[in-house]
Structure 1
Amino acid sequence: MQEIHHDEQIEVGQGSSRRRSSTFLALSCVGLIAAPTVAQEAASEEPGSRRLGGVTVTDTAIDESYDRKESSSVKFTQPLLDTPKSVTVIPREVIEDRGFTSLVDILRTTPGITLGSGEGGTPMGDRPLVRGYESATDMQIDGLRSVGRFSHEVYNLESVEVVKGPGGALNGRGSTGGAINLVTKTPHADDFVVLRATLGTDETKRITADINHQLSEGIAVRLNVMGHDADVAGRDALKVSRWGFSPSIAFGLGSPLRATLAYSYLKTDDIPDFGHPFQNSGTTSPLKLKRNNFYGFANRDFRETEGHFGSAILEYDLTESITLRNATRLVRTTNEYIVSRPSFNTTTATPETGRVLIDFRSANILTEGFLNQTDLRGKFNTGGIEHSFIAGVEYSKEKQRSRPAWAQAAGAVPLLQSLHDPDPYAAFNPLVKTPFTTPAVPIKHKTMAAFLFDTLSLSEQFQINLGIRYDDYKVSDGTRTAKNDFWNYQAGLVYKPLPNGSIYLSYGTSSNPSGECAGMAGGAEGAGACTLNNNNVNLKPERARSWELGTKWDLFDEQLSLTAAVFQTKKSNARATDPITGTVQLIGNNRVRGFEFGVSGNITPEWNIFGGYTYLNAKLIDDGTGANAGNKIKFVAPHSFSVWTTYKITPEFDIGGGVNYTGKRYVNDANTQWFKPYARIDATIGYKVSDNLDLRLNVQNLTNKLYYDASHVGIFANVAPGRSALLTANLHY
């Protein structure tokens, strides 16, 4: 048996699982040493909520409500109640109360979102589908596009905002089903320290520190650090290790001129997992296998990522009602892996023979990006009509270089594993490193855009929301270049029968040009959707259009928010392969109709609730060949439901729990393979030991339900974690 020493051979993302323990210990010591020093200087009062420079910020220690009234995005010109769009904000309080440690934890429990899987050509990383459409490249960090495929942590997040429906006017290319914005923590004009230490089943060890200190009047610094090391609940041999730190500094807090500089670093070192094989004949769901069956090689497989994220935000209040802002981000991420793929063939590896064919996928991906947005926002009146507006320009350059990282050595033979009793430490074929002299496949994106949004308040009851964006977009792979310019629009009418309620009707568009994955129905990999080739280089962008009718209400003294909406998104010029010519044409047609309901906030001061339900009728009207016409779009659950609630029995003691339900999902266009519906139950108990210390016990997947997160065209099924228990001590000053 040969062990792959990948820490010695990787060009980028240096590191090894053998350094997990020392890294975790070192990071723990940093947090524990820093805490007393800052705590000694901390102010006696706890930090609170305040509004700085037109942006609402909420601290880490006092606001326990699950409700949010505003989006962090400057492009939203009104509070959420008066925004004619479905927006789900998952706040830090929900993330912490549920014991979530990754973005995937959040997304798998959000109605209307399902997950897709990477493999080889589709890189491994966070891959959400919002309202039935690929949204992996529609993710943002503080309102600017997140570059490349990455796995995101939560330690430095204040909230996660899911903006649903076509958002081309808001976000540019893609955004057919919606966009996901990660809102990071920023410095406050306060002093506080929050230390969180977690121990749990499956060798889980995690520590985070959130330290904020006001250096002087108007200047504050904040540092978030994290170390995490664990196995995967219910799975053999798998490891998850990561650490990161995020320092930031703010100048001019509370003054007309403000600046925030931030940097974030995240390093991961895991053993990746493609789960269980699908039976590949007939009408089928995944085989009934033991949850812990791992069909990879623990001494060979690895996934290492490294991310550097730097940002600078400058704001200047020209007047009391007009603000000029510039936001810049620099990004560099690496993603390298070897992962085993279990599958069947027609001879040696079948369910009947009890054997599984194990091949591998690998990639070495370097992504770099520069993004800049300059905008002017504020309010003014014309003829008795109040305008809340934002106008701006964007410029971005993104570059991705990808190559296979490893190849089979000469004389390699097919690898087989036992279907029912695989050995994670079995011998494997030697692999050879792909030389870095081998040219990588370059993909370069360049965008220049301009946008304008305006909300016209005609009266106390009526508002009109308008938005427009123009994009000049170019993508190149070194051989071919595609240039497209396109307009996107949004319009909404809001009627407020009462100050605490609204009814709205809205319309929006999106554009998905060649070379851009976002906006594909069901994460379709066909027709060259994510690559630039001779088939699609001259095609115009796909276009999607959506209508939405909804209502929003703030009840119980505006402590509880209820939302509901019906909607339709339709794409009538989707890319598809013409069966006559064999070329890719804009002849596909797909549609998603649905309904959703959401709730967040407090029923009583002691009773928190957060959740919702989404129904999606996702239909593949025409795939070009007609073979799958009328079928359901793959990866999309028609029914998804989630509710989480906590109740304070006494001021010191609270209990809570929740259930997530995801309905049947097809994993291929022919609708012959699927995942069965599942319901997952979580529970929590919290106890406040003192004003500075509280404890929380989380049990996730209480019934140890076996279910699957995702698939990749029906070859394998990613197994979700089993039951786990986590005990967290939260120390704050």
Structure 2
Amino acid sequence: MQSALVIRTKKKLSATAHLTGAVGVAIAAAPTAAQTAGSTKVAAAELPAVIVSGSAPNPFKTDGTSSIKTPGALLDTPRSITVIPQELIQSTASTSLTEALRTVPGIAFGAGEGGNPVGDRPFIRGYDAQASTFLDGMRDIGAQSREMFNIESVEVTKGPAGAYDGRGSAGGSINIVSKSPKLGSFAEGNLGVGNASYKRGAADANWQFSGHAAVRFNAMFQDAGVPGRDSTHQERWGFAPSVALGLGGPTRLTLSYYHMETNGLPDTGMPYDNPNFVPRTDGRPRTRLPGDGSPLKLPRNTYYGLADRDFRKDSADVATIRFEHDFSPALKLRNQTRIGRTRQDYLWTRPDGSFNGNIYYDMVWRRTNQRHGVSTTQANQTDLSGEFLTGAIKHKYAFGVEFSREKSENDGYTVATGNSRCPSGPGAASGYNCTTLYNPDPHDPWSGRIARNYNPTNHAATTASVYAFDSIALSKQWMLNAGLRFDHYRGEVRTARANGGAGPRSTHTRDDNLFNYQVGVVYKPVENASVYLSYGTSSTPAGAVVGQGSEPSGLAPTSAGSALSPEKNRSIELGTKWDVLRKRLALTAAIFRVETTNARITLEDGLAAMAGNKRVDGIELGFSGNVTDQWAVFGGYTHLKSELRNNGGSGAAFGASNGHAFPNTPSDSFSLWSTYQFLPNLTVGGGAYYVSKVWGSEARNNWVPSYWRFDAMAAYQLNKHVTLQLNVMNLADKVYYNQAYPAHYASIAPGRAAVFNVNLRY
């Protein structure tokens, strides 16, 4: 049932202003369909009373995704898919992918360390999705911290997605949808200031320069510290031009480019209060008892890095050409070609106080994590999609082929960090490589040597894929959804030179054929509701992350070649979706099981084997849309029961971790973001987020405690051009940890942050 929205006015305003005021979207001056699809300027007119038929204002509900592989409405899709729309991104003042993803329960975040680079490392349903992140449907393998200034929406698909995305994707995947040129002209701007020296400016301009062509330009600059963490800071800037020809016609060509750079002083986190006491033998008096494995309770501002030594510099460049042609409304062709390059260069301090017993003597060793890495991608993707009838049965299909070549070169630095046992004590005696547990000085005059190794490890992956999907409407009540994908995957690694760079390099390659499928059935008892059952698989070959993340076993020689076979993952899910309150509010619920049936493990004799088993059982609830015309909500709840059922282990450790929970997998997580339009020009809102205890490693007894976090916002629309918005994140100034590494340290989250934005639109 549709609602009738009545607009009555005698004032002399533009049509756009009438529509904006009636809908009442006071959140960050988001563009409306009327504004983006129409002409540059609408002449002022004396408007009579107008009745607009349609749905009520609905900023957070999304009916579909950008993928041609899921062509139907979300209601008719037998999978758990959450879309984070632009309005929610603006309302929550999210400026990074990590901040946006916090609104989706069931996603946790892992920390970077050692061989795992820093950057976005989401865990979906217990599985690492760092290498299962996509940009406009194409894999974005380079490790980085992604910005939001050029992002239209974020699509989170849960459960094994091998048929949709190819290798990996055991717990799900993330697809980032970029902003692109539109018909019509507009200009938007954002200026923000906040505590911790926060300063940000962003611009988004779209210009229609002919009947069917437009150019769009996005740019951003940000310089900010971290509330509650005085030493760390980051500066970042980027721009993204794009041009589209043939808009509104059957043949379209879009060219886009994205560039972003960051430069800052990384955070170091807090050491775990390790329960395993390591005694010293030099007579130094012990000052602490063994802890419980949670992070040490230290002042939030405690910082173990060195401000004059540590650094992080990242850059990302992506160029894309998209060609689309509609042969008819029922037959469409799309081709995308992409070239991308991501660079990471960093050296930062990780507080290492537990393994060597230093924390029991009030000391911390300043261990360094360092990386100089470059990854490149060349990819081409061609899709043919359409509709056809076989009798009374309607088909929506997609067929595609994809070819990609991904490479990475990972080098690092040699840093004079002294003796990890801190035999000389903290301070000058150790060359400032050791510091005190409670009073570290980030400005210690460290003068050690830093040297680039120039001895990289090289990774490469070549993939050729073919896939097909069909969504079949058997009747008004029954639908069948099926898809399959075949990938030929060739992984290659060339090791660094042995013996400190003086020895030879070795090369290892492996070829695998990956076949994955997905099938789901949907029953619609009424037009606005569905019940579905789905089954899907995915495969994770050796070397799947191409040196851009962590995996149980990399591509290297073993005593048995089968020990590098692809891991197999499968999932079964039963769910229901309801569009209620005149289809303004979407409600979802699902129960599921994700299982890896041949995980790579180490046997008692130290050899590798594909004999492990791990499983996640879960329940998921979700909601998005409007409760009333004024009240919008977005969020959900996820419960996960994860278990390492057969985790192996060498020697006496064999089977010791069986029954343990997955790392970075909270049992319970909840998120709620809600806004209410109290006045035509005033919207207020807030968020509540809960994450239960998270294990970094249950075997090591390292974990971070549960937490609640609360946010608040208020937005006031001064006129059709200017909106003022205030966001306060972590309203209670809660001390909590948002990343748990298996050993040594956990990342501490920012304190209370207040950001005031002026949003402009013309």
Alignment TM-score, normalising by the size of structure 1: 0.89
SS at 2:99's partner residue?
helix
The answer to whether the aligner puts 1:178 opposite 2:172 as a matched pair is yes
For 1:669 and 1:45, how far apart are their aligned partners in 2? 62
Partners of 1:409 and 1:429 within 8 A in 2: no
SS at 2:304's partner residue?
coil
Q: Identify the match of residue 616 of structure 1 among 633, 640, 658.
A: 640
For residue 281 of structure 1, report the CA deviation from its aligned partner: 2.4
The answer to whether the aligner puts 1:368 opposite 2:384 as a matched pair is no
The answer to whether the aligner puts 1:87 opposite 2:81 as a matched pair is yes
Unaligned stretches of 5+ in structure 2? Answer: 1-35, 44-55, 277-291, 420-429, 495-506, 649-653
Q: Deviations over 1:44-68 (max 9, x none)?
A: 259xxxxxxxxxxxxxxx9861111
For 1:294 and 1:98, how far apart are their aligned partners in 2? 28
Partners of 2:156 and 2:174 within 8 A in 1: yes
For residue 77 of structure 1, report the CA deviation from its aligned partner: 2.3
For 1:724 and 1:380, how far apart are their aligned partners in 2? 53
The match for 1:441 is 457
For residue 101 of structure 1, report the CA deviation from its aligned partner: 0.9
The answer to whether the aligner puts 1:511 opposite 2:539 as a matched pair is yes
The answer to whether the aligner puts 1:430 opposite 2:458 as a matched pair is no
The match for 1:135 is 129
Q: Identify the match of residue 260 of structure 2 among 266, 272, 285.
A: 266
Q: Deviations over 1:138-193 (max 9, x none)?
A: 00000100022111000111111100000000000000000000111011101101
SS at 1:96's partner residue?
helix
Q: Identify the match of residue 111 of structure 2 among 105, 113, 117.
A: 117
For residue 273 of structure 1, report the CA deviation from its aligned partner: 1.4
SS at 2:164's partner residue?
helix
For 1:232 and 1:73, how far apart are their aligned partners in 2? 36
- The equivalences for 1:354-503 within 5 A come to 354-408=362-416, 415-435=433-453, 438-478=454-494, 479-503=507-531
Partners of 2:228 and 2:751 within 8 A in 1: yes
For residue 474 of structure 1, report the CA deviation from its aligned partner: 0.4
The match for 1:251 is 245
Task: Supply the AA of the counterpart residue of 1:78.
Answer: G
For 1:706 and 1:272, how far apart are their aligned partners in 2? 19
Partners of 1:357 and 1:414 within 8 A in 2: no
For 1:147 and 1:524, how far apart are their aligned partners in 2? 12
For 2:673 and 2:743, how far apart are their aligned partners in 1? 31
The match for 2:612 is 588
For 2:632 and 2:417, how far apart are their aligned partners in 1? 57
Change in 2 beyond 3 A, CA 1:730/1:721: same
For 1:246 and 1:568, how far apart are their aligned partners in 2? 40
Partners of 2:491 and 2:555 within 8 A in 1: no
For residue 354 of structure 1, report the CA deviation from its aligned partner: 1.6
The match for 1:52 is none
The answer to whether the aligner puts 1:333 opposite 2:349 as a matched pair is no
The answer to whether the aligner puts 1:549 opposite 2:577 as a matched pair is no
Change in 2 beyond 3 A, CA 1:347/1:164: closer
Change in 2 beyond 3 A, CA 1:256/1:127: same
The answer to whether the aligner puts 1:316 opposite 2:325 as a matched pair is yes
SS at 1:238's partner residue?
strand
Q: Deviations over 1:376-407 (max 9, x none)?
A: 00000112211100001000000000011343
Q: Identify the match of residue 655 of structure 2 among 620, 626, 631.
A: 626
For residue 270 of structure 1, report the CA deviation from its aligned partner: 1.4
Q: Identify the match of residue 691 of structure 1 among 720, 723, 742.
A: 720
Partners of 1:345 and 1:357 within 8 A in 2: no
SS at 1:318's partner residue?
strand
Partners of 2:159 and 2:594 within 8 A in 1: yes
Task: Supply the AA of the counterpart residue of 1:442.
Answer: N
Q: Deviations over 1:603-656 (max 9, x none)?
A: 112111100000000111110121111111111000000000000100011111
The answer to whether the aligner puts 1:724 opposite 2:726 as a matched pair is no
SS at 1:169's partner residue?
helix
For 1:363 and 1:632, how far apart are their aligned partners in 2? 30
Q: Identify the match of residue 304 of structure 1 among 304, 307, 313.
A: 313
The match for 2:734 is 705
For residue 42 of structure 1, report the CA deviation from its aligned partner: 7.3
Partners of 1:147 and 1:331 within 8 A in 2: no
Task: Supply the AA of the counterpart residue of 1:656.
Answer: G
Unaligned stretches of 5+ in structure 1? Answer: 1-38, 47-61
Task: Supply the AA of the counterpart residue of 1:309.
Answer: V
Say what the alpha-carbon RMSD is for the aligned residues: 2.1
For 1:345 and 1:374, how far apart are their aligned partners in 2? 52
Task: Supply the AA of the counterpart residue of 2:435.
Answer: Q
Task: Supply the AA of the counterpart residue of 2:578.
Answer: W
The match for 1:35 is none
Of 101-110 and 118-127, deviating more is 101-110
For residue 531 of structure 1, report the CA deviation from its aligned partner: 4.6
Partners of 1:380 and 1:386 within 8 A in 2: yes
For 2:579 and 2:732, how far apart are their aligned partners in 1? 35
For 2:354 and 2:676, how far apart are their aligned partners in 1? 52
For residue 439 of structure 1, report the CA deviation from its aligned partner: 3.3
For 1:517 and 1:263, how far apart are their aligned partners in 2? 24
Task: Supply the AA of the counterpart residue of 1:281.
Answer: P
Of 376-385 and 162-171, deviating more is 376-385
Q: Identify the match of residue 224 of structure 2 among 224, 230, 233.
A: 230
Task: Supply the AA of the counterpart residue of 1:690.
Answer: N
For residue 284 of structure 1, report the CA deviation from its aligned partner: 1.8
Q: Which runs of 4+ in 1 moved over 3 A?
A: 345-348, 409-414, 523-526, 530-538
For 1:311 and 1:208, how far apart are their aligned partners in 2? 22
For 1:475 and 1:141, how far apart are their aligned partners in 2? 22
SS at 2:100's partner residue?
helix
Q: Deviations over 1:509-535 (max 9, x none)?
A: 0000011249x9xx9754x2x454436
SS at 1:649's partner residue?
strand
The answer to whether the aligner puts 1:193 opposite 2:187 as a matched pair is yes
For 1:63 and 1:111, how far apart are their aligned partners in 2? 25
For residue 268 of structure 1, report the CA deviation from its aligned partner: 0.4
SS at 1:604's partner residue?
coil
Q: Deviations over 1:645-669 (max 9, x none)?
A: 0001000111110100000111114
The match for 2:61 is 67
Partners of 1:402 and 1:441 within 8 A in 2: yes
Partners of 1:338 and 1:406 within 8 A in 2: no
For 1:201 and 1:418, how far apart are their aligned partners in 2? 29
For 1:575 and 1:486, how far apart are their aligned partners in 2? 17
Q: Deviations over 1:461-481 (max 9, x none)?
A: 100000000000001013000
The match for 1:565 is 590
The match for 1:670 is 699
